[in-house]
A = this chain, B = another copy of it.
Amino acid sequence: MILTGHQLLGSRESAASSDTFVARNLALGADLETVFHEATESEIDDAVSLAAAAFDSFRRLLPEHRADFLEAIAEEVLALGDELLLRASAETAHPLPRCAAERDRVLTHTRQFAGWIREGSWVDARIDRGNPQRQPLPKPDVRSLLEPVGPVAVFGASNFPIAISVLGTDTISAFAAGCPVVVKAHPAHPGTCEIAARAIQRAAVRTRMPEGVFSLIQGRSHETGTRLVQHPGIAAAAFTGSLAGGRALFDIANARPQPIPFYAEMGSINPVFLLPGALQSRAEGIAQGFVAALTAGVGQFCTNPGLVLGLESEEWRRFRSLASEKVAGYAPATMLHSGIHGAYSAGIADRLARAGLELVGQSGDPASAERGEAAAYLFATTQEGLLADPTLFEELFGPVSTLVSCSDPGDFIKVAERLEGSLSATLHGTEEDLLNHRELIEVLRRKVGRLIFNGYPVGLEICHSIHHGGPYPATTHSHFTSIGTRAMHRFVRPVCYQDWPDALLPMELQNANPRGILRILDGERTRDEA
Contact = CB atoms under 8 A, between A and B. Distances in A.
B492 A479 contact: yes
Interface residues of A, number: 80
A494 B469 contact: yes
Given A128-B464, A472-B258, A500 B453 contact: yes
A334 to B, nearest CB: 24
A498 B449 CA distance: 11
Interface stretch (A137-145, A160-168, A381-389): A137-145
A523 interface: yes
B495 A451 contact: yes
A504 B441 CA distance: 10
Contacts of A442: 56, 60
Contact of A453 (B261, B473, B498): B498
A501 B140 contact: no
B495 A449 contact: yes
B481 A147 contact: no
A487 B499 CA distance: 22
Given A453-B499, A465-B126, A478-B493, A147 B434 contact: no
Contact of A495 (B60, B445, B476, B520): B445
Interface string A139-162: 110111001011000000000000
B466 A496 contact: yes
Given A150-B446, A498-B452, A431 B473 contact: no
Contacts of A465: 126-128, 142-144, 496, 520
Interface stretch (A67-75, A308-316, A403-411, A455-463): A455-463
A501 B139 contact: no
Contact of A449 (B261, B464, B493): B493
Closest 8 CB pairs of A and B: A467-B496, A126-B465, A128-B463, A450-B496, A478-B493, A467-B494, A452-B498, A142-B465
Given A140-B455, A449-B496, A453-B497, 7 more contacts: A56-B446, A124-B486, A128-B461, A142-B466, A259-B476, A450-B496, A478-B493
22 contacts: A116-B523, A126-B465, A128-B461, A128-B463, A128-B465, A143-B465, A149-B471, A258-B420, A258-B421, A431-B503, A449-B494, A450-B496, A450-B497, A451-B495, A451-B500, A453-B501, A464-B523, A465-B496, A465-B520, A467-B495, A479-B489, A479-B490
